[in-house]
Chain A
Amino acid sequence: MSSMIEASIVKPTTARLDWSLWLRQVRAIMRIELKKNFWGKRASLIYLLAAVPVILMFLLAVVDPRGQADLATPMTWVSAQEVFGNIYEGLILRTIVFFGCAWIFMNLFRGEVVDKSLHYYFLCSLRREVLVVGKYFSGLAASILLFTLTTAGSLFFLYYAHGYPENVRYLFDGPGLGQVLTYLSITILACLGYGALFMVIGLFFRNPIIPALLVYGWEWLNFLLPPVLKKISIIHYLHTLAPVPMNEGPMATVVSATSPWISIPSLIFFTAIILLVAGRRIRKMEIRYGSE
């Protein structure tokens, strides 16, 4: 009883590049996603995570960990920067920004699959690659805002501990301002790289926690890896950019520092590649909530 049509010409995908439409669509996606990122149920955990280093630096500023005997001699800028360098890389970068980005970016798609609401985007007159870009930028905006504030807040208490006018002098007449801007830039680059990586993990894996933990292990053990493998990581490039790199201990394999002229474009190139992979993945993605 069924009929069949002989002609079988399906209109090809139009290759028209409608940039103004895509920009409008990215903006609309970001508006929806930023609300979710900042006001959604999942956001509270991120706020808590982002506050941890600031609280720690506040405590260090108020309660000197060296004990009562040393309070008379304030910590020098050199040793304070070393302490901060370790806190920044060990806590802020490798833990807070890492897990914060994992949470924000993995939930961009995986969270919607769990909530069974991703199909609303798929039912819009919207190239799926534009959806990837819109969601990525919304995650990026949220993570950069949160974690640069975390970095800035932590630095504030580092400077606060040294008292006025010493801190102002160090900031504006010394290397302080350059270091602050460098730390903030590293945080932004970390969000860029980790964000893309975790978004693609969220697209490929039903349970992205395990791959995220494997990446975490890889990033932490980076200092032990041979030079070639070291370069297959995000933390390697971020580490070499740090004004005061974290002391990786005697077991660390020694490699010559990568120039910022290589580190920064490498991270951006890596991000672009990952976004292309995400774009390819999402074109083939199916909505099958029942099997999730």
Chain B
Amino acid sequence: MQAQVTNSTAESASAMRDQLIVFENVSKFYGEILGVNRVNLSISPGITSLVGPNGSGKTTLMNLMTGLIQPTRGRISILGISPDNPQELFRILGYCSQFDSFPKGMTGYDFIKSFLLVQGYSNKESEEKTWRAIERVDLVEAAHRKVAGYSKGMRQRIRLAQSIAHDPEVMILDEPLNGLDPMARTEAIRLFRQLAREGLHLIISSHILDEVDTMSDRVVLINNGYIVAEGGVSGVREEMDEHPMQILIRCDRPQELAARVFTSDSVVEAQLHQDQQGLFIRTRNADRFYLLLNRIVIETGMKIETVTPVDDDLNAVYHYLIGSNGGGQT
């Protein structure tokens, strides 16, 4: 009986692991230069964004996941498969890398079809999958043009098409929005969301924080090769005790509100807005503050126009944790 329980526990742990991307104490050094150090992560399905400044280790993490580089220490498992087994790994994984180079002389169509043939698909299957991928990135008209003549955005899209052509379960996308015009960006984000809804793992690195913020289920903040924070943006923000959350309340009696909120010890600062129509407050416990605000409204009949958290977005989190001013860029 005991053995059965142990067995079933091990099986369920293994089954759970087969749904995750797992880094166990992974370090990568390039000679004496640190790539990433002691990374422990487990990534579930959905969109996970890697965020960090240039040279922080985002691409290193992605290259480690895809076996393009090998860890100096530690182990990586992609849905239970080791990256040193490319034959198995790339049946379930597609990688849209940042390398902006292509095999010489190929058209967009040839590029995708050739590599599907290398994957082992039949000619017919390769053709079908190629067209489906090209349609998904909206490059049908340019499919038979040489990739060398593509614009940066088109090259980005054909790489994206190549990474999704074989219907992977995991997609790793290194700066996939780079070079795309606003329309194409919106389309790409819509595609990522759709893929995430279909149960895929999407690991995306991007320097456009606003877009990362809106599309990600969770973020991994990385700096100087170390994971600084991991989780949902609001969850990460809530854990940052040293940076009380800022909330702007637009109301008809901001001064009275200021006097009342100070009765709660969760509020550390209150400041009138320049136009005297609002109040900035800083709180260590947003949930307690919202309860307090409800009570004040009921008791005083105060008219509240808006309640807006000012710094619980990725920009603020990035700014607090990594130090430089995100300003929409990393």
Chain A interface residues (CB < 8 Å from chain B): 1-11, 13-14, 21, 24-25, 28-29, 31-32, 35-36, 39-41, 115-117, 119-128, 283-284, 286-289, 291
B262 interface residue per 8 A CB criterion? no
- Residues on the B chain within 8 Å of A32, using CB: 103, 114, 118
Decide: A1 and B236 in contact? CB cutoff 8 A: yes
Least Cβ distance of A44 to chain B in Å?
Answer: 13
Least Cβ distance of A250 to chain B in Å?
Answer: 50
Least Cβ distance of A166 to chain B in Å?
Answer: 47
- Residues on the A chain within 8 Å of B105, using CB: 35-36, 39-40
B196 interface residue per 8 A CB criterion? no
Stretch of B69-77, B204-212, B296-304 contacting A (4+ beta carbons < 8 Å): B69-77
Least Cβ distance of A147 to chain B in Å?
Answer: 23
Given contacts A21-B120, A125-B119, contact A115 B88 (CB under 8 A): no
Not counting A2-B227, A123-B90, A126-B118, a sample of 17 additional A-B residue pairs whose C-beta atoms are within 8 angstroms of each other reads A1-B239, A2-B40, A4-B40, A7-B14, A7-B16, A11-B85, A13-B88, A14-B85, A31-B117, A36-B105, A40-B105, A120-B102, A123-B94, A123-B97, A125-B119, A125-B166, A287-B68
- Residues on the A chain within 8 Å of B82, using CB: 10-11, 13
- Residues on the A chain within 8 Å of B90, using CB: 123-126
Decide: A284 and B13 in contact? CB cutoff 8 A: no
B20 interface residue per 8 A CB criterion? yes
Least Cβ distance of A4 to chain B in Å?
Answer: 5
Across the two chains, which residue of chain A brings its CB closest to B121? A24
23 A-B pairs with C-beta separation under 8 A: A1-B229, A3-B230, A5-B22, A7-B10, A7-B17, A10-B81, A11-B85, A14-B88, A24-B122, A29-B118, A31-B117, A35-B105, A36-B103, A115-B101, A116-B101, A120-B115, A120-B162, A123-B115, A124-B86, A125-B89, A125-B120, A127-B87, A283-B84
Across the two chains, which residue of chain B brings its CB closest to A112? B103
B45 interface residue per 8 A CB criterion? no
Least Cβ distance of A173 to chain B in Å?
Answer: 48
- Residues on the A chain within 8 Å of B272, using CB: none
Decide: A1 and B103 in contact? CB cutoff 8 A: no
Given contacts A25-B118, A32-B114, A125-B87, contact A2 B80 (CB under 8 A): no
B124 interface residue per 8 A CB criterion? no
Decide: B95 and A123 in contact? CB cutoff 8 A: yes
Main secondary structure of the interface of B (DSSP, over half): mixed
Decide: A122 and B86 in contact? CB cutoff 8 A: yes
Main secondary structure of the interface of A (DSSP, over half): loop
B293 interface residue per 8 A CB criterion? no
Q: Top 6 A-B pairs ranked by shortest CB distance?
A: A7-B13, A28-B117, A116-B101, A125-B90, A287-B68, A286-B69
B285 interface residue per 8 A CB criterion? no
Given contacts A1-B230, A2-B230, A5-B22, contact A121 B118 (CB under 8 A): yes
Given contacts A4-B40, A116-B99, contact A13 B84 (CB under 8 A): yes
Across the two chains, which residue of chain B brings its CB closest to A131? B118
Least Cβ distance of A21 to chain B in Å?
Answer: 5
- Residues on the A chain within 8 Å of B70, using CB: 284, 286
